[in-house]
């Protein structure tokens, strides 16, 4: 059986900086995979390459056997990979519902209708339903510019779910959320995402979140994967303790 995502021998350099070096990863369908590593280890570069924002210098990336390493972000989105961002990428002068309606308008071929109303029956309900999953329905008609950072993060994830992606990549879903709110936020995200995306890859710095929610952990260091396995094993790995967690666990 083909893995959902297959990465083979991927390299990426930015001048003298090696952001990815010989990355080879298979991610089967249904896993919750956490990417850990210090700043600059190559986690976000990996996410950017899988979603088409960056092209690898060498190597291949395939989604269920379909090569995607040279495709544009919109083509990859149409194939079933969605992402959220470390800094939420929203339309700040539009309301939360309108942000989701833009995502809904892009469903299918990604060609929004020139005459069908954006708020047509069914579209608006779907937008509200998604916001409801994140507990944000009451904020549907608030402009993004009026919303707090944590709320923006959830709207960002909700937008990524509109396409019911086969693979969802979340870049630091709990960053900017207070320590006591992190588990509440992550519970909400996992519950909300569970409806629509079977496979989740999330970048995370909080090891409590990682050990609680990840089925599998990939530890990055200098563009390489230094450990791959179950959270309890990876977090005990001496190299991971040295380069990633700093002996925190």
Partner 1 sequence: MGRNRHHYLVMILPVLVVVLLGRLLPTWTLSLATVAASNAMVALGIVVLARTGNVSFGQGLFFAAGGYGVALIANSWGTTDAVAQVAIGAICGGLLGLVIGPLIARYSGIFFGMLTLALSMVFYGALVKTTVLGGSDGFNIGRPSLFGIAFVDPREADFMLYAVSVVTVGLTAIAATVLFRSEFGLASLAVRENNLRVEYLGISASRIVAINFIIAAVFAGASGAFALMAQRHIDPQFAYWTTSGEFVFVAVLAGYQTVAAVFVASLALELVRSFSNLYLPNTWQLALGIFLLAVIFFLPRGIGSLWAGRRPKGTDQASATPTAAEEGAPS
The site for partner 1 (CB under 8 A) is made up of: 51, 72-74, 77-78, 82-83, 89-95, 98-99, 101-107, 110-120, 123, 132-133, 135-139, 141-143, 146-148, 151, 159, 162-163, 184, 187-188, 191
Q: How far apart are CA 245 and CA 34, in angstroms?
A: 14
The full DSSP string for 168-228 is EEEESTTTTS-GGGHHHHHHHHHHHHHTT-SEEEEE---HHHHHHH-SEEEEEETTEEEEE
**Residue 61 beta carbon to partner 1: minimum distance, rounded to whole angstroms:** 16
| 98 versus 206: smaller Cβ distance to partner 1 | 98
Find residue 34's DSSP bridge partners. 202, 217
Q: How far apart are CA 218 and CA 29, in angstroms?
A: 16
**What does DSSP say about strands 199-203 and 216-221: parallel, antiparallel, or unpaired?**
unpaired
| 45 versus 82: smaller Cβ distance to partner 1 | 82
| 18 versus 105: smaller Cβ distance to partner 1 | 105
**What does DSSP say about strands 58-63 and 66-67: parallel, antiparallel, or unpaired?**
antiparallel
Q: Are 45 and 220 in contact (CB under 8 A)?
A: no
**Residue 197 beta carbon to partner 1: minimum distance, rounded to whole angstroms:** 15
| 56 versus 165: smaller Cβ distance to partner 1 | 165
**Residue 172 beta carbon to partner 1: minimum distance, rounded to whole angstroms:** 16
235 closest CA partner among 200, 198, 213, 208: 208
**Residue 98 beta carbon to partner 1: minimum distance, rounded to whole angstroms:** 6
Overall size of the chain counted in residues: 249
DSSP letter assigned to residue 112: -
**Residue 137 beta carbon to partner 1: minimum distance, rounded to whole angstroms:** 6
| 166 versus 245: smaller Cβ distance to partner 1 | 166
| 26 versus 187: smaller Cβ distance to partner 1 | 187
**Residue 198 beta carbon to partner 1: minimum distance, rounded to whole angstroms:** 19
Find residue 36's DSSP bridge partners. 219
| 139 versus 218: smaller Cβ distance to partner 1 | 139
**Residue 108 beta carbon to partner 1: minimum distance, rounded to whole angstroms:** 8
Backbone angles phi, psi at 242, to 5 degrees: -75, -45
Q: How far apart are CA 129 and CA 137, in angstroms?
A: 8
């Amino acid at each position: 059986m083909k893995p959902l995502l297959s990465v083979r021998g991927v390299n990426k350099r930015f001048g003298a900086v090696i952001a990815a070096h010989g990355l080879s990863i298979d991610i089967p369908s249904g896993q919750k995979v956490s990417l850990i590593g210090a700043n600059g280890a190559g986690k976000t570069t990996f996410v950017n390459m899988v979603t088409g924002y960056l092209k690898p210098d060498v190597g291949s990336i395939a989604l269920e056997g379909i090569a995607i390493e040279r495709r544009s972000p919109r083509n990859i989105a149409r194939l079933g990979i969605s992402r959220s961002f470390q800094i939420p990428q929203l339309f700040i002068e539009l309301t939360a519902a309108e942000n989701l309606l833009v995502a809904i308008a892009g469903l299918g071929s990604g060609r929004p209708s020139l005459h069908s109303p954006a708020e047509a029956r069914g579209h608006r309900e779907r937008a509200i339903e998604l916001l409801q999953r994140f507990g944000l329905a009451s904020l549907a008609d608030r402009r993004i510019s009026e919303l707090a950072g944590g709320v923006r993060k959830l709207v960002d994830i909700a937008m990524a779910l509109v396409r019911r992606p086969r693979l969802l990549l979340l870049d630091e879903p709990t960053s900017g959320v207070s320590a006591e709110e992190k588990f509440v936020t992550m519970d909400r995200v996992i519950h909300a995402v569970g409806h629509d995306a079977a496979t989740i890859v999330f970048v995370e710095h909080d090891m409590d979140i990682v050990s609680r929610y990840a089925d599998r952990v990939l530890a990055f260091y200098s563009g390489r994967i230094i450990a791959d396995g179950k959270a309890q094993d990876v977090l005990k790995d001496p190299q991971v303790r040295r380069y990633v967690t700093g002996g925190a666990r």
